[in-house]
Amino acid sequence: MSFALLACTLLALAGLCVWSRASSPSDDTVVNVGDVAVGDGRVVLQRDTTDGAMRAGDEVLAIDGRNVTDWLAHRVGGEALRDGQVLTYDLRRGDRALTVRHQLAPYPVADSLVRNWPTILVILMLLGAAVFIFAVRPRDPAARAALVASSLAALTTTAAGYFDLEAVDLVAGGQFWRWCGGQVVYAVLWGAMLHFALAFPEVTSRRRYRRWLLIGYAGPLLIYLGSSAVAWLAVQDPVRRFSVLSSPAWLTIYVYPVLILAVLVQKYRYCHNQAIRSRLRWLALSLGGATLSYLAVWVLPLAVTGRALLPIELHSLVFVPIPIAVAAAILRHRALGIEIVISRSLIYAALSAVAIAGYVLVVGLLSMAFPPLHGLWQQATAAAVVATALQPLRIRMQALINQRVFGDRDDPYRVVSALAEQLEGTRTPSTVLPAVVETVGGALRLPYVAIEIRRADHSEPAASYGTPAGDLVRLPLTYQGERVGQLVVSPRTPKEALRRKDLRALAEVARQAGAVVYAARLTGDLERSRVRLVRAREEERRRLLHDLHDGVGPTLAAIVLGLHAGVQTIERDPQSARDLLVRLQEELQQAIGEIRRVAENLRPPALDHLGLITAVRQHANTLSSRMAPTGRSAQHTDIVIDAPPRLPPLPAAVEVAAYRIICEALTNMARHADARSCAVRLWLDQDLHLEILDDGTGVSLTASGGVGLESMRGRALELGGDCVVEPVDPRGTRVTARLPLPKEGADHA
């Protein structure tokens, strides 16, 4: 309640200032004790009076017999005056002295308020934002600081902003003290701004906060007292001394902006909270953009040429984004994109120079064709012409800056087109995915882009660009409804998340990249399959070499030696030679059996002699006859073969794989299932399908499978098919396999 009461008091004083100015007469002049007009020891008028009797540049020597220099040396103000009273002004215009009689009139309060409508707009926005924030978070130090600062701003503008200080105010009435009080409030306002910087978006150290709060509010007054003491001792001219004493904020406005900036930078450097850092950027960017525009259009031209590029009453418009940015940062962080603030700040900075040149050009052309632009409507017309002319340039410049900072995120199809062009230039499959991530990273200005390909139970990195920074964002890559991988990206800065436009552009890229990743995955699978086939072929050759060299080879060598020995002994000892030949015959039979075993391992002879269907039936009959109701099995197992009477010619690899899978499934059933019946089905569509179904004990879902199960899966996968072993409800096991067949015209070998 104390802060609310303080704000109400300050606003009441602001209303009192308006009433005070309205109740005092005016001589229609303007002086500024903070300007060089007083700083050089003279009181000079800043504008012409309405009747033209007094002109800008006239030096005021005396008013109604009161010498201005002597009067300011001893006192300020005097007895109250009334409307209609006529005063005598002693002036110096160049080298000529003149006397002018001027009648006082009511002060044009309404005209002054209308002329300063931009400042009123900003003050109302500041007050509205501060009151809203304070109403929502009355205990928030930043909300309290905002309420105090906006109330002080309202008071200083009504006391010393909207209403000019006039020459008559120096020697009569009490309006100078109203104006000087407004200047003191303006100095204290800088303390309130430092208060807000210390509290926004939150207080980091309570102890330091209180100490700096005291220093912040006392600092402007201490600076004022120090500068006044130095001026009183160092300056003897009464008008110069008065200029310093009546400008409480002239040193503060140079010290406190640097101090406020240092506080914000220090808080940003040592803050690791993402939300707080983002809110600090809101404040810094909005203040920076407004200050840059203010300096470029008003302060610097006034210091260099003595005239601002736009009417001083319009300077407050550049500060309109500040209350909006502050309210959004405190109450709805990330409700608006921070990149918008960055983009606008860059645009304002770039357009400032263009606006200066454009306004000067328009004013120059209009001045040559018409009288000088003294009227407010004339100046507003010139400003409107400049604004209208710059609108297309602003749009174009905004697009260029956004493209420079954020890449092509505003045009996702441009990113996709760049991706397509890059893919057209890739020569080898191994460079496709690296080209994708590099193109996306460069087009969207992202520090890190990667693609991960999805496998059966995991994802593996396939290509990457840049270095990860911050929290990674993953977008799914799909092809024909199947998830084939994911696109992994890092935001542009570790503390900032990707915005909606970024995600929309990345989603479009992911939609197009899904097919590329699917093709790359197929290519990788093909390469791995080729490697496996080559490795399997070499392993098969090595096995054959071992079987022939270690098995059949020694046997045949021994037979050769035995035959040689028989030749040597057949005449000398016929009986021994006969016995030796009998043993050699047995060994030769064993060698023949070994060779047959090796041949059968390569391809079962039954396939060539009988065909796949008959070979399966023969194996099933043999296995069924061996499963008599003795031993482990207490019952006979019926094996039924359901297959077409005849199959078209099949590739040798498909025939062998089908035969081996069926034989392995039947062997597992005979050994472990204790089944009463088993059905084997074969059918053809585009592929060869196998199904072996029994009513045995079933297979465990948690079992990893033995060598036989892995062998069945491996044979199907080698051909690009699949094999699934699963339990059947209520009991039993089903083995299903799919073996792809070559398309028409393909090689069946």
Residues 312 and 260 in one domain: no
**228-255 tens-digit pLDDT:** 888 777 777 777 777 777 778 777 877 8
Question: Hey, what are 375's tokens?
Answer: 């009227």
- Count CB atoms within 10 A of the CB of residue 119: 22
333 and 421, same structural domain?
Answer: no
Pair 325, 359 in one domain: yes
Same domain, 186 and 291: no
Evaluate if residue 61 carries a pLDDT over 90.
no
> What is the pTM assigned to this prediction?
0.48
| Higher per-residue pLDDT: 700 or 173 | 173
Domain span at residue 465 reads 414-505
Q: What is the pLDDT of residue 748?
A: 44
Question: Measured in Å, how far apart are the chain's first and last C-alpha atoms?
Answer: 93
For 463, other C-beta atoms within 10 Å of its C-beta total 20
Residues 400 and 420 in one domain: no
* Per-residue pLDDT at 41: 55
pLDDT at residue 570, as a whole number: 82
Q: How far is 197 from 192, CA to CA, in rounded Å?
A: 9
Does a structural domain hold residue 28? yes
**Residue 164: inside a domain, yes or no?**
yes
Residues 434, 384 share a domain: no
Are 366 and 440 in the same domain? no
- Decide if 113 is inside a domain: yes
746 band by pLDDT with thresholds 50, 70 and 90: very low
Q: How many helices (H) and strands (E) would you count in the chain?
A: 24, 15
257 upstream amide cis, omega within 30 of 0 = no
Q: Does 36 score more than 50 pLDDT? A: no
Read off the pLDDT of residues 512-566 as tens digits, 9 standing for 90 and up.
Answer: 778 888 887 787 777 777 777 777 777 777 777 777 777 777 877 777 888 888 7
In a domain, 559, yes or no: no
Average pLDDT over residues 46-73: 84
Distance CA 622, CA 468 (A): 63
| pLDDT tens figures, 333-349 | 443 333 444 444 445 45
427 shares a domain with 378: no
Which residues, 6+ apart, have CB-to-CB distance to 394 below 8 Å? Answer: 347, 351
| Radius of gyration from C-alpha coordinates of the chain | 48
Domain stop point among 268, 293, 313: 268
- Asked if residue 33 is part of any domain, the answer here is yes
User: Per the structure, how many domains does the chain have?
Assistant: 4
Nearest to 179 by CA among 395, 363, 17: 17
Q: Are residues 252 and 359 in the same domain?
A: no
Average pLDDT of the segment spanning 637-656: 88
Among residues 371, 406, 441, the one where a domain terminates is 406
> What mean pLDDT is reported for the chain?
77
Residue 322 within any structural domain of the chain: yes
Residue 616 belongs to domain with CATH number = 3.30.565.10
Greatest mean pLDDT among 195-199, 259-263, 497-501: 195-199
Tell whether the model's pLDDT for residue 34 goes beyond 70. Answer: no
What's the Cα-to-Cα distance from 680 to each of 605, 656, 694, rounded to whole Å?
A: 21, 16, 9
Q: Quote the pLDDT of residue 246.
A: 75
For the purposes of burial, counting CB atoms within 10 Å of the CB of 438, is it exposed (0-12), middle (13-18) or buried (19 or more)?
middle
Q: Are residues 463 and 446 in the same domain?
A: yes
Q: Does residue 570 lie within any of the structural domains?
A: no
Here the tokens at position 19 are 């009433």
Domain boundary among 384, 406, 428: 406
Q: Is the pLDDT of residue 401 over 70?
A: no
**pLDDT digits 0-9 by tens, 356-385:** 555 555 555 555 555 555 555 655 666 666
Residue 562 lies in a domain: no
CATH number for the domain including 427? 3.30.450.40
Here the contacts of 1-9 (C-beta below 8 Å, separation 24 or greater) are: 3/134, 3/138, 3/144, 3/147, 3/148, 4/134, 4/138, 4/147, 6/148, 6/151, 7/147, 7/148, 7/150, 7/151
Residues 725 and 670 both lie in one domain: yes
pLDDT value of residue 448:
86
Give tens-digit pLDDT for 85-122: 999 999 999 889 999 999 999 999 888 888 888 888 88
- Range with the poorest average pLDDT among 165-169, 458-462, 617-621: 458-462
pLDDT value at residue 561:
81
| 83 & 97 share domain | yes
Angle 510-516-519 from CA coordinates, rounded to 5°: 140
Q: Which of the pair, 8 or 242, is modelled with greater confidence?
A: 8
Structure tokens at 620: 């099933």
Q: What number is the average pLDDT over the span 653-671?
A: 89
Structure tokens at 391: 């609108």
Phi, psi angles (nearest 5°) of residue 57: 100, -10
